[in-house]
Amino acid sequence: MGSPLPGTKPDQRGDTVNAKTLELWRCEGCDEIHEWEDEARECCAPEITELYGCIECDKVHDDKAEAIDCCNALTAVQCPSCLRDHGSQTINATAVRVTGHCSVCNPMYSTEQVFQVEDVHMTTTNQRGDLLRGSSSI
Ligand SMILES: [Zn+2]
Ligand SMILES: [Zn+2]
Ligand SMILES: [Zn+2]
């Protein structure tokens, strides 16, 4: 017992540990990409392949490291309603910050909220987004 030995390894906080990707599954029957594993499994084929989406630009990669490297998305904003991760530069991340939910799980926003979210998104990313279509740049 007693105090820990000097020279004990400090807590390692590697910067890539928090790297985020979006897990996706591809049905090998029709090549459709699904966000949920069960959905892919219930599609047409018994075979599914796990894929990784870049949460910043929505590009899909076979390799997790590739998806992380894509836009180097080390931070994400998680929607408290659907638990999806949204890249910090996406309009849905702004939507979660401003309104508390993203447009994927609940696209019901007041005109005022839409205006506010698109305005904040414009200020932080210099991109004009479209909240109701969920696109971060138009
Ligand atoms: Zn299918
Ligand atoms: Zn990307
Ligand atoms: Zn959501």
Judged by average pLDDT, the poorest of 17-21, 24-28, 69-73, 84-88 is: 17-21
Q: Which ligand is nearest to the CA of 27?
A: 1
For the chain, the structural domain boundaries read 18-74, 76-138
Judged by average pLDDT, the poorest of 9-13, 22-26, 83-87 is: 9-13
Is 90 exceeded by the pLDDT of residue 100? Answer: yes
Judged by average pLDDT, the poorest of 2-16, 29-43, 65-79, 100-114 is: 2-16
Is 50 exceeded by the pLDDT of residue 16? Answer: no
Contact present, 61 and 53 (Cβ < 8 Å): yes
Centroid of ligand 1 to alpha carbon of 39 (angstroms) = 9
The per-residue pLDDT of the chain, averaged, comes to 84
Ligand 2 being an ion, which residues bring their Cβ within 5 A of it? 54, 56-57, 59, 70-71
Q: What is the pLDDT of residue 19?
A: 62
Is 60 exceeded by the pLDDT of residue 5? Answer: no
Between 48 and 10, the more confident residue is 48
Q: Which ligand is nearest to the CA of 32?
A: 1
How far from the centroid of its chain's Cα atoms is residue 56's Cα? Answer: 7
Centroid of ligand 3 to alpha carbon of 86 (angstroms) = 9
Quick: pLDDT tens for 47-62. 999 999 988 888 899 9
Q: What is the pLDDT of residue 45?
A: 78
Q: Which ligand is nearest to the CA of 99?
A: 3
Instruction: Give dist(CA 105, CA 67) in Å, integer.
Output: 23
Query: Between the CA of residue 110 and those of 16, 29, 37, 99, 116, what are the distances in Å?
Result: 37, 40, 32, 10, 10
Q: Which ligand is nearest to the CA of 22?
A: 2
Centroid of ligand 2 to alpha carbon of 6 (angstroms) = 42
Is 50 exceeded by the pLDDT of residue 3? Answer: no
Centroid of ligand 3 to alpha carbon of 82 (angstroms) = 4
Q: Which ligand is nearest to the CA of 54?
A: 2
Is 70 exceeded by the pLDDT of residue 71? Answer: yes
